Amino acid sequence: MMAKRFSFLFLLTPILLLAQNSFEWTSKKEKISIDFKLVSNLIILPVKINNVELNMILDTGSESSIIFSLPENDSIEFRDVKKIFIRGLGETEKIEALYSVQNKLDLSGYKTKNFPLLIVLNQDINISERLGVEVNGILNSSFFKGRIIEIDYIKKKMLIHKNGKKLKKKRLDTFEIIPVRIVKERPYVNLDARINEIDVALNLLVDIGLSDGLWLFEKDKIKSNANYFEDVLGRGLNGEIVGKKSRVDRVQIANFEFKDALVSYPYSKFFPLFQFSEERNGSIGAGILYRFHLIFDYEQNRILIYPNSKFSEPFNYNMSGLEIQHNGVEYFNEKVPLATSKLNSSQNLDVLANGTEKFLYKFILKPVFEVATIQKDSPAALAGILVGDKIKRINKKNIQRYSLQQINEMMRSEEGKWIYIDIERKGVSIAFKFQLKKII
């Protein structure tokens, strides 16, 4: 994810021909409902690939689906594999990958036996550490073709409709319609924006695999204003993406307008040259799209949108300058009253008597939190926190009481809020404090 809620980008330019995959409907229901996790605005879907359960980020912005990790103690068989080289976003050269066809994909009863995949088992690509949940790869939107796909960000459900004609017209009439162009199975839209008091027409890729709301390429009238800061905007397959973070005066999607929306301007050196076309100006991502109930109708070249309860949420960002990630696990103990505890032989437990009352100390494995990156001259940097510091406590509470997403939300909560952090550095405990500061 974090804006600096880390943005994850998987725009690929593989040197391959996309295989055609045909899906069959094996469910007895007229629509398939799939619950998903929503982390840093990203949709993480449970799927089965070659009969193995995986967690995949749904990404309308990628031409290809890709696997970059496997579940622990599990394996997947891939057939018809060939070695290729691909280029993703980032500053490094092309990277080696495997290309495989004739893979089985099962979306809860919507299946194909000829699903093309890229496999990049690179140890440097560990999105799970940054998101705080297990992620095995990304799933492109090729399965949108021929079906109506509905995304409910509030209920965290994706619906695949067998017959889109059965959607009630009365219900659809409440939605706004956005015309889209489908190019290489990716949707593009035209939107209007006002940047530096100049009205600009934008051609944007619709990218729900981008956790930020808006990415624009600087060119001609599209320029960052003077009020910006340089930041690590996200990570692609080829490494970190750096650029400017600022705000636009407004951006309009259908009849809905957002003022002072956050925008990122990635530096061109982090993109392959052919990503910058004369037509495309950037991407609209989940930081805006999660504010709507979405219906994708590729057959009729349209997306239907309806504002949900998140529509009016402010465009906040991480004001600490910290990006925190998981890095391994270690044992922690939790004290539990003996009277309320249920024992079994698999638990790691010590019993401690305290007067007449007995407690159990339950030893469990939990993730280690560490500082992944720090923005230069940010409140956290000025306080003295360093990359690699292991975080032990935040605001006087054990770090294990928080999820990574809760920590990120705290860092973007409100300007002026005091953050107290206890860290461990080379075996030494150090306490820091700083105030969240709004720059843009």
Same domain, 150 and 190: no
Query: Which one of 172, 205, 232 terminates a domain?
Result: 172
30 & 105 share domain = yes
Q: Is 2 a member of any domain?
A: no
Burial bucket for residue 15 (CB in 10 Å: 0-12, 13-18, 19+): exposed
pLDDT of residue 232: 85
Q: What is the pLDDT of residue 336?
A: 56
Q: Is position 390 within any domain?
A: yes
Return d(Cα 108, Cα 47) in angstroms, integer: 7
- Token pair of 160, please? 């695949």
Pair 85, 108 in one domain: yes
Residue 180 inside a domain? The answer is no
Nearest 5°: phi and psi at 390? -90, 125
Question: Are residues 147 and 28 part of one domain?
Answer: yes
From 172, 204, 239, give the residue that closes a domain: 172
Whether residue 394 is contained in a domain is answered as yes
pLDDT of residue 96: 82
- The structure tokens listed for 333 are 């103990």
- The CATH number assigned to the domain holding 337 equals 2.30.42.10
Query: pLDDT tens for residues 61-81?
Result: 998 999 988 887 778 888 888
Q: What is the pLDDT of residue 367?
A: 83
User: In CATH, what number is assigned to the domain containing residue 218?
Assistant: 2.40.70.10
307 belongs to a structural domain: no
Please, which contacts does 380-389 make with residues 24 or more away whose CB atoms are closer than 8 Å? 380/320, 380/321, 380/322, 380/421, 380/432, 380/434, 381/321, 382/434, 383/432, 383/433, 383/434, 384/430, 384/432, 385/322, 385/421, 385/423, 385/432, 386/425, 388/425, 389/423, 389/424, 389/425, 389/430
Contact 271, 281 (CB under 8 A): no
Residue 317 placed within a domain: no
354 & 274 share domain: no
Domain boundary among 147, 172, 197: 172
For residues 111 and 224, membership in a common domain is answered with: no
Tally the domains of the chain: 3
Q: Are residues 328 and 226 in the same domain?
A: no
Amino acid letter, 160 = I
**Is 310 inside a domain boundary?**
no
**Domain of residue 86, residue span:** 7-172
**191 and 168 fall within a common domain:** no
Spatial separation of the C-alpha atoms in residues 1 and 392, rounded to whole Å:
22
pLDDT of residue 352: 46
How does pLDDT run along the chain (440 residues), one tens digit per residue? 333 333 444 444 444 445 556 899 999 999 999 999 999 999 999 999 999 999 999 999 998 999 988 887 778 888 888 988 876 655 556 778 899 998 999 999 999 999 999 998 765 667 888 888 899 999 999 999 989 999 999 999 999 999 888 788 878 899 999 999 999 889 999 999 999 999 999 999 999 999 999 999 999 999 999 999 998 888 776 677 889 999 999 999 999 999 999 999 999 887 755 455 558 999 999 999 999 999 999 999 999 999 999 999 999 999 999 999 988 766 666 655 555 444 444 444 444 444 455 555 556 667 889 999 999 899 999 999 999 999 999 999 999 889 999 999 999 999 999 999 999 999 999 999 999 999 99
| Residue 415: alpha-carbon gap to chain centroid | 24
